[in-house]
Amino acid sequence: METQYVKELVKTMTTIKDVGTFESFLHNILTPAELDEIAKRLQIVKLLKKGIPQREVAQKLGVSMGTVSRGSRELKYGENGFRKIL
């Protein structure tokens, strides 16, 4: 559910054009664990899109099968965000 706060966050993030500034922003707004988790989610989806089996993805990234399954569901049934950018 998008709230005005999510929309404001998205608007702010899309105005950042410099990669270094955007990376600094992510480090400021997220904990190290959150940033690592989000980065791994992207890698999960990228590997699944390449056809790599879920077990192999889990082992390669050191995540649970549940995490990989969640990424697979988002890729298949989510709001198309991953499919649009990958």
Mean pLDDT score, 22-40:
96
Query: Model confidence over 38-70: pLDDT tens digits?
Result: 999 999 999 999 999 999 999 999 999 999 999
15, pLDDT greater than 90: yes
**Domains of the chain by range and CATH?**
1-30 (no CATH), 31-86 (1.10.1270.10)
% of residues, the chain, pLDDT over 90? 77
The CA distance from 40 to 80, in Å, is 18
Output 74 or 44, whichever has higher pLDDT: 44
- The single residue listed with the structure tokens 């998205």 is 10
pTM for the predicted model, two decimal places: 0.80
2, pLDDT greater than 90: no
Angle, alpha carbons 23-24-30 (nearest 5°): 85
The CA distance from 67 to 37, in Å, is 10
Other C-beta atoms closer than 10 Å to the C-beta of 48 total: 22
